Structure 1
Amino acid sequence: MSTESTDTTNKPTSYMMEPPPSYVNQGFDPPRGGMIGFANASAPQVHTTVVNIIPGELSIRDHLPWSVFNTFYMNFCCLGFIAVIFSVKSRDRKVIGDRIGAMSYGSTARNLNIAATMFTVITIIIVLIMLLSAPRPQRIG
């Protein structure tokens, strides 16, 4: 006697006689694996890019905006203009990959910017003190 049962009498007869339903496309054929509007085009490939950022790389500053500001507004004895030159040199060295040179020029630009700012502020304060403390002529009248 076999353990398998070949008797199909306990199944409904409608299940056995009818084929599965047929789904008809009603005018819309979605693209499969392709781009919209192109019938047999393959899907665009996505390329990824990995950028490694070294934490020490961010610490190199060229102080260019500060140098330009000092050139236009606080150019005491052309220190702002010289700071712009060193800032541009620092940026060029950073682009080339010379970290030590970029840090050196950046440090020089920072020191020149500090000197230009301080000398200009001190000069403005001295001029204001002199203008406010100057004796005024009195009218006799």
Structure 2
Amino acid sequence: MGAGGGPPTSGGSGFVSPALPLLGSRLVPTMKPLQGEVSIPLQPPERGATPAAGPAEQPRDYVVWSLFNVLLGYGLTYLGCLCFPALVYSIKARDCKVLGDLEGARLHGARAKLWNVVCSLLMVLIVVIIIIMIAVI
């Protein structure tokens, strides 16, 4: 603090540099915010709000179905490794949807759906074969 409780002064001249205030005996540069900062909203848009281009349907990502197939595939029929690509594609679809790439999310979501259908059918088929084998023996 300068004399009389005012702001710090450089030397005895009474001049205060607004860009470089004194801190003890060192000069400390002050940080000024940039004027053109970009703000990214962290909250999703309100539920009732529609985009200006029209209501676009959000693509599905099938993460729950993929996770169910992977866990059930490993637990029952050891087909979890075949169901793993569905989980990868569904996570990619969710990432694209979060980033706003709706076309990429649709593409990955369609691939995840295909892999999920194939894995589900294979698991049902194998479980039916196992039940038939147990009944015959």
Q: TM-score range by the shorter chain?
A: 0.5 to 0.7
Count of paired positions: 85
TM-score by length of 2: 0.56
Q: In the alignment, is residue 111 of structure 1 matched against residue 109 of structure 2? A: no
Residue segments in structure 1 that go unaligned for 5+ positions in a row? 1-48, 135-141
Root mean square deviation, CA, Å: 1.9
Residue segments in structure 2 that go unaligned for 5+ positions in a row? 1-45
Other-structure match for 1:122: 125
Other-structure match for 1:16: none
Other-structure match for 1:97: 100
C-alpha separation between the residues in 2 aligned to 1:89 and 1:122? 28
- Aligned pairs for 1:1-141 within 5 A: 51-52=49-50, 54-58=54-58, 60-75=59-74, 76=79, 78-134=81-137
8 Å CA contact retained: 1:64, 1:84: yes
C-alpha separation between the residues in 2 aligned to 1:77 and 1:67? 10
Consecutive aligned runs of 4 or more in structure 1 exceeding 6 Å deviation = none
C-alpha separation between the residues in 2 aligned to 1:68 and 1:107? 16
8 Å CA contact retained: 2:72, 2:80: no
Identity percentage of aligned residues: 34
